[in-house]
Structure 1
Amino acid sequence: METIKTHIQYWIDYKGSGDEYRRTHDLDCILTGGNLYADTLISLWLPLRYVLNYCNITQWEHHRRKKDLKNNDDFLHTLKDNIQTFITDKQLLGKLEELFVLGRTRSNVIILPYRWWNNMRGGYPYWEYFPHFLYDLLNTEDESFFKTMQEWIMREHVHMFFDGEINKDKIKDLCGMQNPWSHYPGDKQFDVHKLIDNYISILTQRSNYYQ
């Protein structure tokens, strides 16, 4: 589980701000030669949280309601040092490690056409769930914008989020919730196993373009 621990340490160590710090310390930027338009395709923090929720040990219950856990060094150190205590499902832990290995490579980075998309994707209503973001991008009657988005999707090699043609009605269900705008992890239909399997599959496919 060394890659998970390595990435938790990355979160602990990331303390700066501003473009120059990001250019030289943000993994997305580092993997793209300092490109400030680079962004993580699949957040590693959220699948980690989903797995912690799934295992739901007493120690996690103590932390889970706290705000901004990703920036809580005390918690991150505790998690890093006790990862197998927090994640009791060995199969899920193995899948999560595989996802983190892929997630720290160029296959998990996209180049955004607009930098402000970075913050937009991370907040309400998307919460880093890319199928929902894709749905809203393609849910337009502006043919020129639609074509531009199709071209961007192909250029960034994220066409594997679709079942065939690139349109909003062909976006794959990654988490068992049936439609792209439904991804609340507390829902009984939310399938963390399916989500992580799909994330691994997507990044594995994308890795073929970045060798």
Structure 2
Amino acid sequence: MIPPEIALVFIGAAIALAAVPGPDNIFVLTQSAVHGRRAGLVVTLGLASGLFFHTTAVALGVAAIFQTSQYAFTALKYAGAAYLVYLAWKAFRASASRFDQSQAISETAPQQFRRGLIMNIANPKVTVFFLAFLPQFVDPLNGSIIAQFYQLGALMFVATIVVFGVVALAAGWLGDWLKDSPSAQVWLNRISGMVFLTLALKLATSER
């Protein structure tokens, strides 16, 4: 069991890290602005749930493969980049047609959740980051190592939900304001597509 004082330090660091602007924050912001607050919150839940994949990878030692194997790291990062390109294509395709409210809510909650989950899991840099970050808060004297990793993963989950949830709600207000402006909605879709392409390029060219 992780001592309360260690947990407080970790949750503070986790909130600070989640608040740093990055691909996941931007992803939540654009999804919430385009599809509404609910979509942003569901995507946030998907992204946060993906953290347990990385926690498991670190706890079981799988993350070491990504740190030592260039092939494994490269394969996963290109898979993630390809998925982002696919999202960009969908955004541009949506902007090419007439926007209406039915298009904005065409995706179901499971689809939105899966979108966030896949984006998080397909980023090997998160696994490598967890490999460097989480062990600093683990001590064999505090019990099961694996249990401690999952406790830290749960705290990171909570921090991500809180921070990204705030981003989703704020961006959702922007989306409400844009509902009465079809031209603004079209441009927002195009901006989303450019964001996805930029994130894909950044991920594809990233180094360990």
Give the TM-score normalised by the residue count of structure 2.
Answer: 0.24
Question: Higher RCO, 1 or 2 (CA under 8 Å, sep at least 6)?
Answer: 2
